[in-house]
């Protein structure tokens, strides 16, 4: 019976007992302390995140979408400006862009990596109606986009580059972590991310003093100091002490969890033996946020997994430019790769608390795919 119990896509209630006790005790300390917002836990987390990522500044904010919005505003994006982004990454950059009154200009993705590449970016920039004010490269599924090549193109056009690390925190290339590789970077600590809070949370990283100061002032009403409204773009996007305390406990465990994700992913890859195509290989720079596969027979395969009690999902089924939302965007180039991939991708369960028995069962199904 046990071997047939359903395998969930994710299960946030599987926190190991020892870790749960530490989290509960930290939460309880915060509640007794009477300091609930932007206090000592918050400030310590900022230092620890900056050190982890290898950026001069880490600025905690309320969530990953605010992080994107504030990062875009910090580099100078204003109403009516264009922001280049991909259309296959869940729509968060489109939302953040529109919150500023700016307009997403969609760039196609590379068909092998599902990420922005220097070539797709260049093709997009050659066709946009006006020079964009920012480019957002999303490190999707746990893999870093080819950031130095993308960066070279962005520099050539003089456009600030933002990295979205929400799905790839901890991923590194040549010893440098994503989040430190562009002008400014963002992340989310939504509970299902590789580093997740017990609620909403996010952060912005930068080595640029001016951008960092912009985000710091904007996240708290545009204040220069208490009750002094001096800067435009102000809002309330603070992080609370409870989330900061939890994230401080979990941050030192992130690399271990990412390794566990990579190991599971690598077992899937071997078991499948080419029956489905994995978008990513378990290389060093991949932190296994999602195990995404492609197949022209998606529905049949998802049904097969379902018949074995294994939950699968699609990340993401509807590209941004195909959404019903009646909002302006610029289609700077043909988006046929993005459109085709959206019909072929699906994701297998991939989280560190999957048991070895569950991983074995998923591997077994991968080795029997019709």
Ligand X SMILES: *Cc1c(COP(=O)(O)O)cnc(C)c1O
Q: Does 163 bind ligand X (CB under 6 A)?
A: no
Type and span of the H or E element at 18: helix 17-33
Is the CB of 167 or the CB of 272 nearer to ligand X? 167
Instruction: Read off φ and ψ for residue 299, nearest 5 degrees.
Output: -60, -45
Q: Does 167 bind ligand X (CB under 6 A)?
A: yes
Contact pick of 166, 246, 279, 345 for ligand X (by CB under 6 A)? 166
Contact pick of 50, 83, 90, 141 for ligand X (by CB under 6 A)? 90
Number of residues lying near ligand X (CB under 6 A): 14
Q: Catalogue the E-assigned strands of 41-111.
A: 57-61, 82-86, 103-107
Site string for ligand X, 138-157 (x = CB under 6 A): x-------------------
- Calpha distance 264→291 (Å, rounded): 9
Of 12-20, 37-45, 163-171, 353-361, the segment contacting ligand X by CB under 6 A is 163-171
- Of 215, 223, 216, 243, nearest to 69 (Cα)? 215
Neighbours of 317 (CB within 10 A): 11
- Calpha distance 106→86 (Å, rounded): 5
**Which residues from 187-226 bind ligand X, rule CB under 6 A?**
188, 190, 200, 202
Helix, strand, coil fractions of the chain, as percent rounded to 5:
40, 15, 45
Cβ atoms of 61 and 247 closer than 8 Å: no
Site string for ligand X, 53-72 (x = CB under 6 A): ----------xxx-------
Q: Catalogue the E-assigned strands of 82-160.
A: 82-86, 103-107, 134-138
User: Which tokens in the block code for residue 302?
Assistant: 């998802």
Q: Work out whether the CA dihedral 93, 94, 98, 102 comes out positive or negative.
A: positive
Contact pick of 50, 58, 89, 184 for ligand X (by CB under 6 A)? 89
Of 70-78, 164-172, 236-244, 264-272, the segment contacting ligand X by CB under 6 A is 164-172
Q: Does 179 bind ligand X (CB under 6 A)?
A: no
User: CB of 226: closest distance to ligand X in angstroms?
Assistant: 27
Site string for ligand X, 331-360 (x = CB under 6 A): ------------------------------
User: CB of 31: closest distance to ligand X in angstroms?
Assistant: 23
- Which positions touch ligand X (CB under 6 A)? 63-65, 89-90, 92, 138, 164, 166-167, 188, 190, 200, 202
């Amino acid at each position: 019976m046990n071997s047939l119990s359903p395998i969930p896509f994710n299960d946030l209630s599987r926190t190991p007992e020892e870790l749960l006790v530490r989290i509960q005790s930290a939460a309880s300390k915060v509640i007794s302390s009477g300091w609930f917002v932007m206090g000592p836990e918050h400030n310590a987390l900022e230092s620890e995140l900056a050190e982890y990522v290898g950026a001069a500044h880490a600025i905690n904010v309320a969530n990953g979408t605010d992080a994107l919005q504030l990062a875009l505003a910090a580099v100078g994006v204003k109403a009516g400006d264009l922001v280049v982004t991909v259309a296959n990454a869940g729509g968060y950059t489109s939302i953040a862009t529109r919150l500023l009154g700016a307009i997403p200009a969609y760039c196609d993705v590379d068909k092998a990596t599902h990420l922005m590449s220097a070539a797709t970016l260049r093709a997009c920039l050659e066709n946009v109606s006006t020079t964009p004010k920012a480019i957002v490269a999303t490190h999707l599924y746990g893999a870093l986009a080819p950031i130095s090549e993308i960066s070279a193109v962005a520099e050539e056009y003089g456009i600030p580059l933002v990295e979205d690390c929400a799905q790839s925190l901890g991923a590194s290339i040549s010893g440098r972590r994503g989040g430190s590789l562009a002008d400014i970077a963002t992340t989310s600590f939504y509970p299902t991310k590789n580093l997740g809070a017990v609620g909403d949370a996010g952060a912005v990283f930068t080595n640029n003093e001016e951008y960092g100061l912009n985000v710091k002032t904007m996240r708290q009403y545009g204040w220069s100091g208490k009750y002094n409204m001096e800067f435009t773009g102000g809002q309330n996007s603070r992080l609370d002490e409870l989330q900061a305390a939890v994230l401080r406990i979990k941050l030192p465990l992130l690399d271990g969890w990412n390794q566990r994700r990579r190991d599971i992913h690598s077992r899937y890859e071997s078991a499948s033996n080419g029956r489905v195509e994995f978008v990513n290989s378990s290389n060093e720079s991949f932190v296994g946020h999602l195990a995404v596969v492609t197949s022209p027979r998606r529905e049949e395969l998802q049904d097969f997994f379902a018949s074995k009690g294994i939950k699968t999902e699609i990340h993401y089924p509807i590209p941004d430019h195909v959404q019903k939302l009646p909002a302006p965007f610029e289609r700077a180039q043909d988006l046929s790769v993005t459109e085709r991939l959206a019909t072929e991708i699906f994701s297998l369960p991939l989280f560190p608390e999957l048991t070895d028995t569950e991983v074995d069962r998923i591997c077994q199904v991968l080795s029997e795919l019709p």
